[in-house]
Amino acid sequence: MSLTVQVAGKSDLGCIRTNNEDNFGYDTRYGVFVVCDGMGGQAAGEVASKMGVDIILEYFRKAGGETGKYPVEGEPLEGVSERANALASSIRMANRSIFEAASKDAGHAGRGSTVVAAMGQGSFLSIAHVGDSRIYLIRKDSIQQLTNDHSLVMEQVRRGLITQEEAEKSTMQNIIIRALGSEETVEADVDDMMAQPGDILLLASDGLTKHVKDSGLLKLVKGAPTLSQACEALIQAARDDGGDDNITCVLVRVLEQPWYRRWFGKGSPQWQNSI
């Protein structure tokens, strides 16, 4: 069995913001997908999120194309695959570059970005994240959040200090406790899993997920005839709910690839650099 993917991504200013600090990119040749949500005034957020996407894509293009090896940055994590470690390394690399660039530039203090990234090889799938952007898995008729937000309120929920309802009402929802580029080093949470044909991965910035609940995400993705229409529907739903932040989503559908497509042309490879 050979698996292939379809992908669509879209980013929107939302209804209030005048600049887009979100960014995304992917390269299906290397099976890598990234969404970043930047923060920090004076265009610093835009710079940080763009750097995040570019550096991570570049990491996999180099490793997959020229050397065939994933360079290790920092301490390898135990108990996870080489693929997951590659994601963690690429994120540490992006962190270092953003941090170094920010420390040279006094005006850019407070610059940082979240990141969610996924990488697939055959039916093996690894994910990694830092911050409060999320990855969801839509399998058959269910949706599951695969990432735990690195936000102050969700950390408090996990430690049993406040309830989920209190978290949803909290005024501190905008505070995240891990970000790319805000400190010298960063540890991403990584996970390994198996993909099944028909699975859909959703990578999204909080501009989507704070306005559309899990059940809404599932309904909109399932209800749209194509992935790009699903992206549009998701963004529209977040805008209809107020859209007070930039909204970004990337949808990846895993498909079984018929043998004749594998043998006679795969169609054009798809990739999208940062926007």
Contact 137, 199 (CB under 8 A): yes
Task: Please report how close the Cβ of residue 172 comes to another protein at its closest, in angstroms.
Answer: 6
Binding residue (CB under 8 A) for another protein from 61, 62, 101, 192: 192
The verdict on 54 binding another protein (CB under 8 A) reads: no
The verdict on 145 binding another protein (CB under 8 A) reads: no
DSSP-derived letter for residue 107 is G
CA atoms in the 13 A half-sphere facing the CB of 99:
15
Task: Please report how close the Cβ of residue 223 comes to another protein at its closest, in angstroms.
Answer: 26
Contact 221, 269 (CB under 8 A): no
| Count of residues engaged in binding another protein, rule: CB under 8 A | 46
Interactions with another protein, residue window 102-121 (CB under 8 A): 110, 112, 114
Bridge partner list, 101 = none
Task: Please report how close the Cβ of residue 127 comes to another protein at its closest, in angstroms.
Answer: 11
Contact 118, 33 (CB under 8 A): yes
**C-beta of 191 vs 214, nearer to another protein:** 191
The verdict on 176 binding another protein (CB under 8 A) reads: yes
**C-beta of 124 vs 271, nearer to another protein:** 124
The verdict on 46 binding another protein (CB under 8 A) reads: no
3-state secondary structure of 67: helix
| Beta carbons within 10 angstroms of residue 144's beta carbon | 11
Binding residue (CB under 8 A) for another protein from 3, 7, 8, 39: 39
Task: Please report how close the Cβ of residue 194 comes to another protein at its closest, in angstroms.
Answer: 5
Binding residue (CB under 8 A) for another protein from 193, 224, 255, 275: 193
**C-beta of 72 vs 172, nearer to another protein:** 172
Rounded CA-CA distance 71/61 in Å is: 12
Contact 87, 124 (CB under 8 A): no
Residues present in the chain in total:
275
**C-beta of 48 vs 233, nearer to another protein:** 48
Stretch that binds another protein, among 60-68, 89-97, 174-182, 218-226 (CB under 8 A): 174-182
3-state secondary structure of 231: helix
Interactions with another protein, residue window 64-103 (CB under 8 A): 78-81, 84
Name the strand (E) or helix (H) holding 152: helix 152-158
3-state secondary structure of 272: strand
Binding residue (CB under 8 A) for another protein from 27, 149, 199, 206: 206
| Beta carbons within 10 angstroms of residue 79's beta carbon | 7
Q: Which residues contact 104 (CB under 8 A, 6 or more apart)?
A: none
Interacting residue ranges for another protein, rule: CB under 8 A: 37, 39, 41, 78-81, 84, 110, 112, 114, 122-124, 131-132, 152-153, 155-156, 159-162, 166-167, 169-172, 174-179, 182-183, 191-194, 196, 206, 244-245
